[in-house]
C-alpha cells in the first residue's frame, strides 16, 4: 500500500478553493474601490477577465503539482516528493515522529477529506488532502512501524533491515488501538463564559476607544473644562452611546468568533498523548506527546479569580517549524498551548493528577521580604511620572491625569508582586508563582526540564541581603525564562543548591 502514491483526487478541489480565497482576499480593496466608483460594463468585464485568467493559470499550476506530488515509505523514512519545474524531496524519520495532527476547513469537511500533518522535532510533512480511510491507514501504519523500529537500536541497524517489509509489526486491530479517556469538554455556554472572563474583549475595547478618539476627534478637553455640563452635553451623550454600541458589537463579534473557533472543544488522554479537538467551520485535531511537556501552568486574571475559574496550559518543545509544515495547531511561538481554556479551580487538580501523576503540584510559599516593596514600585512609578510630566508639558495638558492612573496602577501591581511572589521546592519539582499585570501565574517545573539556573546580585542587593533567581526551560523553538525578584539571599541560594545537588531539604 505504501509504495509511491498520489494524494486524493479531491486535493484539486481544495486547491481551487484556496486559489479563489487567496485571489479574492488579495484583491478585496481593489474590488471595493471599483464598485464605489460606479463601474461601467467594460470595467467589470476587464476585471472579471483578469480574475478568470489568473485563476486558470494558478489552477493549471496546481494540477501539474498534483500529478508531480507523491508520498511513500522507504526504510525508516516517510518521503514527500513535490514540485512544479524542479522536483524536491522532503523526508522525516519514522522513529522520530512525535504526533500526527489533522485539520479540516469547510471544504475538506464537505468533501470528507482531511489535511494531515506529521510532526517530528525540527520539521514536519503536510499532506493535503487524504480521505479518512487513507489517513487512518497511514496513521496506524506509521504508529505501528514507529513502535517496531523503536524497539530496536535504529541507529545501529543497516538500511536494508529498516525497510517496512522487513520490520515486524502486526496489522491494525481494535485491541491494538490505544484507548482514549475523555477528560474535558466545553459547552457553548462555557465558551461564552470563557470569552467574557478571559479579558481579551476588554483589551480590544480599550484599543477601539483609543482609535475612536483619534478618528472622530472627540471633545475630551471640553469634558475636563466643562464638568458641570457632563449630564446635559449632547457631545458627551453621543460619546457614551457610541462607546456602549461599540462595546456591544465587540462582545457580540468576539463571542461568535470564539464559538466558531472552539465549538466541540474536547480533550482526551491516551497512553502517551493528549489530544485536543475543536472547531465549527474548520475542525482541528492536535496531538500533544506527554514526553514533550516541559512545564504546566495555571493562570487566572482578576475576573476569573473572583468567579473561581482558572486557565490551564502546557509548555512544550516545538514539534516542528510552523512555516515549514503550514501547521495550524494552537502552539504559540513560545511553545505555550492552552489545554483547559476555562475550568473551576477545584476541578483542576484531579484532572491534572490524572494526566501528570508524577507532578507534585505543591502550593507555593510567599517569600518576598517587606523591605523589597519599594524595589517593585519605585522604578515603574518613576518612569511613568517622567513620561506623564513630559506629555503634559509638550503634548496635552491633561496627560497627567492618565499618568496618575498608570502610576497608581503600577504601584498596586508592585504591591501585588511583593505579596504574591513565591516558590516551593519538592525533590524533583519547583513551583513558582508570579503576578502579571492582569493575572496571577503559577508554574510547575520538573528539575530535569531546567536548562540552567542563576542567582544575581548587584552591590545594592548584596548590601540588603537580597537576590534575583532565574532559570530557563525549553519552550517552542527557543527557551522561556522564569524569575523570582528581590527575594531573600538565603532563599536564592537554597534554590541554587537544590538545582546543583538534587533534592529538597
Tell me the pLDDT tens digit for each residue of 322-344.
444 444 555 555 678 999 999 99
Strands of the 293-301 sheet, one edge to the other: 336-344, 309-316, 293-301, 439-446, 429-435, 422-425, 365-366
* Average pLDDT for the chain: 80
- Residue 197 predicted with pLDDT over 50: yes
- Residue 177 predicted with pLDDT over 80: no
What residue numbers bound the domain in which 214 lies?
188-262
Evaluate whether residue 236 is within a structural domain.
yes
CB 312 within 8 A of CB 186: no
Query: Which of 142, 137, 115, 158 is closest to 17 using CA atoms?
Result: 115
Here the cell at position 485 is 525578584
Mean pLDDT within 3-11: 84
| Confidence category of residue 425, pLDDT binned at 50, 70, 90 | very high
Nearby residues of 31 by Cβ (< 8 Å), 6 or more positions away: 24, 47
Q: Which residue has the higher pLDDT, 389 or 143?
A: 389
CB 441 within 8 A of CB 310: no
**Domain boundary residue, one of 154, 177, 200:** 177
| Confidence category of residue 249, pLDDT binned at 50, 70, 90 | confident
Evaluate whether residue 199 is within a structural domain.
yes
**Tell me: the pLDDT tens digits for 443-499?**
999 999 999 999 999 999 999 999 999 999 988 777 889 999 999 999 999 999 999
Q: What is the pLDDT of residue 36?
A: 63
Mean pLDDT within 33-47: 70
Mean pLDDT within 22-35: 68
**Tell me: the pLDDT tens digits for 48-80?**
788 788 878 888 888 888 888 889 888 888 999
For residues 195 and 160, membership in a common domain is answered with: no
Cα-based angle 356, 148, 284 (whole degrees, multiple of 5): 50
Mean pLDDT within 286-298: 89
Evaluate whether residue 183 is within a structural domain.
no
For residues 283 and 394, membership in a common domain is answered with: no
| Number of domains present in the structure of the chain | 4
| Rounded percentage of the chain residues whose pLDDT exceeds 90 | 26
Evaluate whether residue 462 is within a structural domain.
yes
- Residue 421 predicted with pLDDT over 90: yes
Highest mean pLDDT range out of 82-86, 246-250, 387-391?
Answer: 387-391
Mean pLDDT within 403-414: 89
| Confidence category of residue 201, pLDDT binned at 50, 70, 90 | low
For residues 132 and 155, membership in a common domain is answered with: yes
| Confidence category of residue 31, pLDDT binned at 50, 70, 90 | low
- Residue 424 predicted with pLDDT over 90: yes
Evaluate whether residue 1 is within a structural domain.
no
Here the cell at position 53 is 485568467
For residues 360 and 377, membership in a common domain is answered with: no
Mean pLDDT within 252-277: 89
Evaluate whether residue 301 is within a structural domain.
yes
Cα-based angle 412, 436, 204 (whole degrees, multiple of 5): 95
For residues 25 and 111, membership in a common domain is answered with: yes
For residues 303 and 343, membership in a common domain is answered with: yes
Query: Which of 410, 419, 333 is closest to 379 using CA atoms?
Result: 410
CB 121 within 8 A of CB 103: no
For residues 363 and 383, membership in a common domain is answered with: no
Query: Which of 72, 70, 89 is closest to 163 using CA atoms?
Result: 72
Q: What is the pLDDT of residue 465?
A: 93
**Domain boundary residue, one of 262, 290, 316:** 262
**Tell me: the pLDDT tens digits for 114-168?**
999 888 776 778 888 888 888 888 888 888 888 777 666 544 444 444 444 444 4
For residues 286 and 221, membership in a common domain is answered with: no
Mean pLDDT within 256-267: 91
**Domain boundary residue, one of 213, 246, 262:** 262
Q: Which residue has the higher pLDDT, 251 or 298?
A: 298
Query: Which of 295, 288, 273 is closest to 479 using CA atoms?
Result: 295
Evaluate whether residue 6 is within a structural domain.
no
Least confident among 142-156, 168-182, 376-390: 168-182
| Confidence category of residue 29, pLDDT binned at 50, 70, 90 | low
Q: Which helix (H) or strand (E) holds 88?
A: strand 88-93
| Confidence category of residue 289, pLDDT binned at 50, 70, 90 | confident
Highest mean pLDDT range out of 81-90, 185-194, 330-339?
Answer: 185-194
Task: Name the percent of the chain in helix, strand, coil, to the closest 5.
Answer: 50, 30, 25
CB 222 within 8 A of CB 233: yes
C-alpha to C-alpha distance for 339 and 251, rounded to whole angstroms: 24
For residues 279 and 222, membership in a common domain is answered with: no
Task: Give this prediction's pTM.
Answer: 0.76
For residues 32 and 90, membership in a common domain is answered with: yes
For residues 302 and 443, membership in a common domain is answered with: yes
Q: Is 300 helix (H, G, I), strand (E, B) or coil?
A: strand
- Residue 224 predicted with pLDDT over 60: no
Q: What is the pLDDT of residue 26?
A: 67
Evaluate whether residue 400 is within a structural domain.
yes
- Residue 17 predicted with pLDDT over 80: yes
For residues 127 and 54, membership in a common domain is answered with: yes
Amino acid at each position: 500500500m505504501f509504495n509511491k502514491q498520489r494524494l486524493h483526487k479531491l486535493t484539486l478541489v481544495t486547491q481551487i478553493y484556496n486559489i479563489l480565497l487567496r485571489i479574492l482576499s488579495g484583491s478585496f480593496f481593489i474590488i471595493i474601490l471599483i464598485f464605489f466608483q460606479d463601474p461601467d460594463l467594460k470595467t467589470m468585464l476587464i476585471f472579471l477577465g483578469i480574475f478568470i485568467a489568473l485563476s486558470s493559470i494558478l489552477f493549471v499550476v496546481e494540477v501539474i503539482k498534483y500529478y508531480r506530488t507523491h508520498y511513500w515509505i522507504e526504510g525508516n523514512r516517510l518521503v514527500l516528493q513535490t514540485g512544479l519545474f524542479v522536483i524536491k524531496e522532503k523526508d522525516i524519520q519514522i522513529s522520530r515522529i512525535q504526533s500526527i495532527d489533522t485539520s479540516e476547513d469547510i471544504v475538506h469537511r464537505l468533501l470528507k477529506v482531511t489535511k494531515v500533518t506529521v510532526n517530528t522535532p525540527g520539521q514536519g510533512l503536510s499532506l493535503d488532502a487524504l480521505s479518512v480511510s487513507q489517513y487512518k491507514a497511514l496513521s496506524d501504519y506509521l504508529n505501528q512501524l514507529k513502535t517496531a523500529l523503536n524497539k530496536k537500536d535504529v541507529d545501529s541497524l543497516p538500511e536494508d533491515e529498516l525497510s517496512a517489509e522487513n520490520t515486524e509489526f502486526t496489522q491494525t486491530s481494535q485491541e491494538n488501538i490505544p484507548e482514549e479517556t475523555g477528560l474535558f469538554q466545553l459547552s457553548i455556554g462555557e465558551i461564552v463564559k470563557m470569552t467574557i472572563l478571559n479579558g481579551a474583549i476588554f483589551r480590544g475595547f480599550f484599543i477601539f476607544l483609543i482609535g475612536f478618539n483619534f478618528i472622530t476627534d472627540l471633545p475630551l478637553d471640553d469634558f475636563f473644562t466643562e464638568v458641570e455640563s457632563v449630564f446635559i452635553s449632547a457631545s458627551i451623550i453621543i460619546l457614551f452611546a457610541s462607546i456602549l454600541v461599540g462595546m456591544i458589537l465587540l462582545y457580540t463579534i468576539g463571542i461568535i468568533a470564539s464559538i466558531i473557533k472552539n465549538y466541540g472543544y474536547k480533550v482526551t488522554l491516551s497512553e502517551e498523548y493528549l489530544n485536543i479537538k475543536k472547531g465549527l467551520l474548520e475542525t482541528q485535531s492536535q496531538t500533544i506527546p506527554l514526553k514533550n511537556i516541559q512545564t504546566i501552568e495555571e493562570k487566572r486574571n482578576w475576573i476569573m479569580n473572583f468567579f473561581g475559574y482558572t486557565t490551564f496550559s502546557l509548555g512544550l518543545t516545538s514539534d516542528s517549524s510552523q512555516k515549514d509544515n503550514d501547521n495550524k495547531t494552537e502552539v504559540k511561538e513560545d511553545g505555550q498551548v492552552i489545554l483547559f481554556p476555562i475550568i473551576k479551580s477545584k476541578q483542576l487538580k484531579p484532572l491534572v493528577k490524572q494526566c501528570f501523576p508524577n507532578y507534585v503540584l505543591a502550593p507555593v510559599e510567599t517569600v518576598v521580604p517587606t523591605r523589597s516593596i519599594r524595589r517593585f514600585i519605585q522604578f515603574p512609578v518613576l518612569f511613568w511620572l517622567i513620561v506623564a510630566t513630559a506629555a503634559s508639558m509638550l503634548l496635552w495638558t491633561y496627560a497627567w491625569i492618565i499618568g496618575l492612573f498608570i502610576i497608581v496602577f503600577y504601584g498596586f501591581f508592585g504591591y501585588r508582586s511583593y505579596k504574591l511572589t513565591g516558590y516551593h521546592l519538592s525533590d524533583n519539582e519547583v513551583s513558582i508563582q508570579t503576578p502579571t499585570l492582569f493575572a496571577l501565574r503559577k508554574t510547575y517545573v520538573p528539575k530535569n526540564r531546567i536548562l540552567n539556573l542563576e542567582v544575581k546580585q548587584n552591590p545594592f542587593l548584596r548590601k540588603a541581603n537580597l537576590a534575583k533567581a532565574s532559570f530557563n526551560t525549553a519552550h517552542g523553538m527557543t527557551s522561556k525564562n522564569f524569575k523570582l525578584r528581590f527575594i531573600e539571599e538565603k532563599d536564592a541560594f537554597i534554590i541554587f543548591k537544590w538545582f546543583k545537588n538534587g533534592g529538597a531539604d
